[in-house]
Amino acid sequence: MNRGKWYAFLVPTISVLIAFLVGSVIILLIGKNPLTAYVVMFQGAFGGSEQLADTIVKMTPLVLTGLAVGFGFRAGVFNIGAEGQMAMGALVGAIVAMSFGALPPVILIPLSIISGMLAGAFWASIAGFLKAFTGAHEVISTIMLNWIAINVTTFMVAGPLAVGTGTPKSPEVAEAAKLPIIFKVQAIELSIGIVIAVIAAIVMYVLIEKSTMGYELRGVGFNPYASEYGGINIKKNIIMIMAISGSLAGMAGIVDLLGVPPQRFLGELTGGRGFDGITIALIGRNNPIGIIFAALLISALRTGSNAMQIRAQIPNDIVHILQGIVIFLVAAERIVAALIEWKKREKVTA
């Protein structure tokens, strides 16, 4: 079968289109006009420079959680715990960023980010360790770690770190830890966070495609038995894969925290963005470049659906439904493939 280069992108694209189609039926069911809803959504995401900037700001951590999950997938590990790793990364990174305000930004910013990455890596490698040494499936252990992380961070910002009243929050980080702003559109500040995320994507690409380590971990993902036979240490690789994946999720947390005002740990911070990483990795086909575009798509859906909720009174939970449908179709991509084949055949007979 001759499947061109574009075929890889065809399935996710068609999945997204089908999701929008189903979404419009749902919108119709609650008595709204899907067309106006989607127009409002589009405007909310791309309608002006402010909207666009907002979309890019929101996209930054999504690129990183998408990379986190996608990296795991490439190595045959389902890291469903990006949510918890992101929270732990943000928490630990924030504590460092609050505590060492005397350091200059060139030191404090990398230091905070690295500590956030290490926290995420540590949190994920617990699941990696359990998988490697006891065989505990990472899906269950990372979910448990998510709940633990969420309870721990909630406790920290409501207790030891708490300031002010209302939503539990930590103090702001030191001025020197805040990410430099690239430009400002009205209330939206676009920091260098997006640059960091894109660099992370490039590093991941090189690591996977060009390095000896990438050869090993893709091998482990494809066939652990053959890899073991080829002298690859499976246990070490699984822990390392989880650690790298977790470090990307932790980076998502701390980069978001340092780059978006108010630069503090506020409420539940992660807000499902770790889980969004699953959708993004799947739409982006675990390819770092694909992940950047998928993150843009999901981020646009987020900003757009907020606008839709306010201006068209359609609950923004619709985004979850759309995301779920996309994931479902990518998981069962043969459904979409069969649709494509069927379309082709129809064209031939017509």
Q: Which is nearer to other proteins, 100 or 129 (CB)?
A: 129
In degrees rounded to 5, what are phi and psi of residue 260? -120, 120
Instruction: Please state the closest distance from residue 261 (CB atom) to other proteins, in A.
Output: 26
> Among candidates 30, 10, 50, which has minimal Cα distance to 318?
30
Give me the residues that bind other proteins (CB under 8 A), please: 26, 30, 78, 80, 130, 134-137, 139-141, 143-148, 151-152, 154-155, 158-159, 210-216, 218-219, 222-223, 225-233, 275, 278-279, 282, 315, 317-328, 330-335, 338
Instruction: Give, in degrees to the nearest 5, the angle at Cα 160 between 158 and 163.
Output: 60
Closer CB to other proteins, 52 or 148, in the complex: 148
Q: Are 8 and 283 in contact (CB under 8 A)?
A: no
Complex with other proteins: residue 212 or 349, whichever CB lies closer: 212
DSSP 281-327: HHHTTT-HHHHHHHHHHHHHHHHHHHHHHHHH---TTHHHHHHHHHH
The three-state secondary structure class of 188 is strand
Taking the complex as a whole, the smallest distance from the CB of residue 295 to other proteins amounts, in Å, to 16
Residue 9 or residue 333: which is nearer to other proteins going by CB? 333
Q: Are strands 181-185 and 188-191 parallel, antiparallel or unpaired?
A: antiparallel
**Phi, psi values for residue 185, rounded to 5°:** -115, 110
Q: How far is the CB of 318 from other proteins (least distance, A)?
A: 6
- CB of residue 122 vs other proteins: minimum separation in angstroms? 15
Q: How far is the CB of 63 from other proteins (least distance, A)?
A: 19
> Closest approach of Cβ 281 to other proteins, in Å?
10
CB nearer to other proteins: give 104 or 159: 159
Write out the two tokens for 227: 């890899």
Q: Using the minimum distance from each CB to other proteins, give the nearer residue, 155 or 342.
A: 155
Q: What does each C-alpha distance from 116 to 59, 153, 156, 179, 232 come to in angstroms? A: 19, 13, 16, 14, 29
Rg (Cα) of the chain, in Å, rounded? 21
We find the least distance from the C-beta atom of residue 127 to other proteins, in angstroms, to be: 9
Q: Please say which residue, 63 or 145, places its beta carbon nearer to other proteins.
A: 145
